[in-house]
Structure 1
Amino acid sequence: MLSFVIGLVGNFFFLIWMYTKYRKQQTYVSTIIKSVWVALIISFSPIISFSFIPQIIRGYPIVDPFVMGWFVFFLPLTFAYLIITKRLYDIDVVLRRILLAAVISILPSGLFVGIIRVVLPHEATAERLLVIFILFVGIFTFILYSFEYFTTKLEPVMFPRKYQLQSGLGNISKRLGSITSFRGLKEIILVDLVNTLQVFGGAIALKYKHNDSIEVISHGDINVEEVELLITSGDLEHEEYSCFEINEQEEYTSYLIMTQKKTMTLLGTEERNWLSLIITYLAVSLENVHLIRKLTMKLQQLASNMPNEQVATDFVWFRKLMFELQEKERVRIATELHDTTMQDLFFFKERLHSLLEKYMFSSADQAKMINMIEYIDVINSNLRQSCFELHPYLLKEVGLIQTIEKLFDFEMAVSPFELELDAKNAYQIEQWDLDRKLHIFRMIQELINNAKKHSRASRVKVTLICARQMMVLSYEDDGRGFDSNHTAVREIGSSGIGIEQMKSRVLSLNGLFELSTSKGNGMKLAVTLPMKEGQVA
């Protein structure tokens, strides 16, 4: 026994020396040394302290060596656990958790031992009480350490709401980096927030300080007008909404507004704390999106104001890139409308038809159902027209002139003015490549949109003429016109293309752009393009 004790103490001192030598290196060797050291102490200290040393000094052990010998199994079990769970590198964390669990276990273990001492005073000898105390500490330590592990594994069952919020936080934080536009804020952030919090709807609102305008991005069932009134009033306390300020910048202040939950209650403390954490991420992402928008507008102005001179030839690639990105976004939106919204409307219409055939309705209800079906057809027709305007696929199939004629056929039915198209020598235009014809279509499209929204004209005429290796697009209306000195900041239509970008399209095609307008005298525009790319007009 004495030889065993001396050998084990020698091993302890050797391990202490090795640990002191390598502990600052934070290497695999120091981790192994620490693991062996702690495992040896826990495995052999009980039998040495309570059996071998008392046997050597007093002649009899305090606790039977057979009982204390069970702790020796801790040594192989420890390394088996660490190897199986691949936690050998995390031994520091594991040991701290075990030590904390052991310290916490001392109090309940002492309490149980005290109860046993009171209930069984004759059988509760000191040796037995010590063994029971050590066993209780070991059992409680194992239970407390395992509790954390099983709590983590069973969190979806034991704490489903907490698990959902943590999962939502992980998903949102991962996807925040991919947001580059306000549309992305809706599709990536608001959709996840509404689904995770199980609310009726949500909105992100930006209040711009220079003109007190408010921009709202919403998802779900939420009243945008009420949100605007709430932001305008400045009082974020509302009985039906949970309002949070995201950030405040020199140019704008942003807010996050969530409706009641579907259980008709407001967000709780746990959900509000979770949202506060989301907002810290969202503030950075929102600022990035705003900077990207400002940069894009600056770049668009740069591209549109670039003169058609030799020094500007280096920026031709930039103009083309801007237009390509716009067209890709239009195609994406048109595809989503066609593949999702229009398909959903089709299935909804079929469902209403099946209800009419399956159930007997009164004549009044049947008339309402038929009106709903007819209104769905109107919505589908408008969506189909929007898809065409976003992605004029007919350019490739039937050519530019017929595509413009189809556009005019629709616009004549909804526009408040007479619309006239005059195309001469059209066959020459069709020899152009698809990209150049798309530029012409977009310019005509934006001119008509501008006439509908701003001109108050009674007559609009568009002329296409091909002659002498030149193509001339001319536009004329008898509307109210505008001050041509402000065309640098004037926009056409909701797409934001404007006079500047129309001019940029012309310059990217190496053409000439001539605008004539004044207040009360209508607007005239002449665009001259070379028939061959690269030719100077």
Structure 2
Amino acid sequence: MFPADAEPNRLLVIFLLLVVLMSFTLYALEYFTTKLERVIFPRKYRLQQSLKKIAKNLGLISSLRELKDIILLDIVETLQVFGGAIVFKYKDSMEMVMVGEIDESEAGRLAEAESPEHPSYLRREIIRNEEYDCYLILAQKKTNTHLGFEETQWLNLIISYLSVSLENLHLIRKMTARLEQLAAHIPSEETSAEFAWFRKLIFELQEKERVRIAVDLHDTTMQDLFFLKRRCNSLIERNVFSAEGITHMKGIVEYIDVINMNLRQSCFELHPYLLQEIGLVMTIEKQIGLEIVSAPFEIEFHAVPSYLIESCDLEMKRHLFRIVQELLNNAKKHSQASRVKIDITVLGSHLTLSYEDDGVGFDVNEAVPREIGGSRSGVEYMKSRILSLNGRWRLITSKGDGMKLMADFPINKERAAG
């Protein structure tokens, strides 16, 4: 390649030029290969992009619905399978989220089976602990082929990510539940001031979760019902049914309206947005109007003077609404009353909430363990809200003599004057 009499300096220069040229060619080849990866290696590119998206979204999961919409849907679409499910198997129950075409009963049986082998479904274990086992179950690929090597590696990596995320989600739920129990068990008004920040944190977390659930119901389930009703009405208008079939379809449409109304009521109870729009008094009146339909007792409500009640800050209104809401719920479940009376009054710098029913009452010493053991609401939970507002309360009840609850709250004079 070179003359025999070539000088060493010239050979060195040519060598360096060749090295630079080859390095530039190799780097250019790598650059263009990366840029054209989606064309040259489409499957690898799709798996990498999906992995980045799922890894980013795993930190946003706070509910099973989000697990379905954010993660499971991407897994099904990326692997191009007919459907998938994530199954949570507890000691005495089972919970499942599904996407696409998958048999719920068959997925449940596969989750309980000792062997993961199945002619139509693929089962992979995500996490196993003392409280529950979690499995990912996938249907067949749309191409009727098995998962390739790259797809299998990708799925194993996703499962490892999921196991960490679900374990963290489980621990957060347990800690939140424990914190709520602790907040309800703070013993007295004297010690409650020291835990004001703690109560506020718990109630803020609860309100945030309620709002999230209400928004989910409105944006998903209620919208689905709306389109289902339109579809049913369209079929009725096209006269595709006999006279008897049309009657049945109209009955289904009416039942959809009932479900929709119940969901609207649930959304309102979860997120009383009207507190800011029409105030506390009218919001409670609206809640009572909804309760009268199903409550087995008469409800009497008075609030005076309303303009002073509405001068309270939004946080106090929200707590008062939740207390009234809990009183009505407990009355429906336990009181067996024929009459319920609720009064809210403002005198000077204090607001007073009183409740009275003529129900069966209960033993005060037994009520606290029963309520706390049954749920995180009830008498102790109302007490927790009262104490969070620096209020004082008095409960009068015994078996067979109904129940009376009186709570007194200080009002911020500057806000009340405004």
Aligned position for 2:52: 170
* Displacement after TM superposition at 1:430 (Å): 3.2
SS of residue in 2 equivalent to 1:244: strand
Aligned position for 2:85: 202
Specify the code of the residue in structure 2 equivalent to 1:396. Answer: Q
Aligned position for 1:256: 135
* Displacement after TM superposition at 1:510 (Å): 0.8
Q: Assess, with a 3 A threshold, how the Cα gap between structure 1 residues 239 and 81 changes in structure 2: closer, same or farther.
A: closer
Specify the code of the residue in structure 2 equivalent to 1:176. Answer: L
* Displacement after TM superposition at 1:505 (Å): 1.2
Aligned position for 1:405: 285
SS of residue in 2 equivalent to 1:406: helix
Aligned position for 1:277: 157
* Displacement after TM superposition at 1:529 (Å): 2.5
Aligned position for 1:214: 93
Gaps of 5+ in 2: none
Q: Assess, with a 3 A threshold, how the Cα gap between structure 1 residues 80 and 233 changes in structure 2: closer, same or farther.
A: closer
Aligned position for 1:368: 248
Q: 2:25 aligns with which of 73, 76, 81?
A: 81
Aligned position for 1:40: 15
SS of residue in 2 equivalent to 1:392: coil
Gaps of 5+ in 1: 12-35, 44-73, 88-145
Q: Assess, with a 3 A threshold, how the Cα gap between structure 1 residues 409 and 240 changes in structure 2: closer, same or farther.
A: farther
Q: Assess, with a 3 A threshold, how the Cα gap between structure 1 residues 344 and 413 changes in structure 2: closer, same or farther.
A: same
CA separation in 1, counterparts of 2:236 and 2:50?
A: 41
1:243 aligns with 2:123: yes
CA separation in 2, counterparts of 1:338 and 1:229?
A: 32
CA separation in 1, counterparts of 2:68 and 2:377?
A: 23
Q: Assess, with a 3 A threshold, how the Cα gap between structure 1 residues 510 and 456 changes in structure 2: closer, same or farther.
A: closer
Identical positions, percent: 39
8 Å contact from structure 1 (residues 510, 534) kept in 2: no
1:529 aligns with 2:380: no
* Displacement after TM superposition at 1:523 (Å): 6.7
The correspondence of residues 379-418 of structure 1 with structure 2, limited to 5 A, is 379-415=259-295, 417-418=296-297
* Displacement after TM superposition at 1:229 (Å): 5.8
The C-alpha deviation readout for 1:40-70, integer Å capped at 9, x for no partner, is: 38x8xxxxxxxxxxxxxxxxxxxxxxxxxxx
Q: Which moved more, 1:266-275 or 1:466-475?
A: 266-275
1:464 aligns with 2:408: no
Q: 1:342 aligns with which of 202, 214, 222?
A: 222
1:446 aligns with 2:326: yes
CA separation in 1, counterparts of 2:88 and 2:61?
A: 17
Q: Which moved more, 1:172-181 or 1:267-276?
A: 267-276
Q: Which one has more relative contact order, counting CA pairs under 8 Å at least 6 apart?
A: 2
The C-alpha deviation readout for 1:432-482, integer Å capped at 9, x for no partner, is: 223212212212223333444x52735462422426434123254635857
Aligned position for 1:423: 302
SS of residue in 1 equivalent to 2:49: helix
Specify the code of the residue in structure 2 equivalent to 1:284. Answer: V
Q: 1:435 aligns with which of 315, 336, 339?
A: 315
> What is the TM-score of this pair, normalised by structure 1?
0.63
Q: Assess, with a 3 A threshold, how the Cα gap between structure 1 residues 472 and 480 changes in structure 2: closer, same or farther.
A: closer
8 Å contact from structure 2 (residues 335, 402) kept in 1: no
8 Å contact from structure 2 (residues 337, 357) kept in 1: no
RMSD: 4.0
Q: Assess, with a 3 A threshold, how the Cα gap between structure 1 residues 400 and 153 changes in structure 2: closer, same or farther.
A: same
Q: Assess, with a 3 A threshold, how the Cα gap between structure 1 residues 396 and 178 changes in structure 2: closer, same or farther.
A: closer
SS of residue in 2 equivalent to 1:478: coil
SS of residue in 2 equivalent to 1:4: coil
* Displacement after TM superposition at 1:335 (Å): 3.3
8 Å contact from structure 1 (residues 243, 255) kept in 2: no
Specify the code of the residue in structure 1 equivalent to 2:261. Answer: S
Aligned position for 1:70: none
The C-alpha deviation readout for 1:306-358, integer Å capped at 9, x for no partner, is: 34556543432332233233223333333343344434433443344344434
The C-alpha deviation readout for 1:232-258, integer Å capped at 9, x for no partner, is: 565555555433322233x42321242
User: How many equivalent pairs are there?
Assistant: 404
1:378 aligns with 2:225: no
1:154 aligns with 2:129: no
Specify the code of the residue in structure 1 equivalent to 2:254. Answer: E
SS of residue in 2 equivalent to 1:246: strand
8 Å contact from structure 2 (residues 86, 98) kept in 1: yes
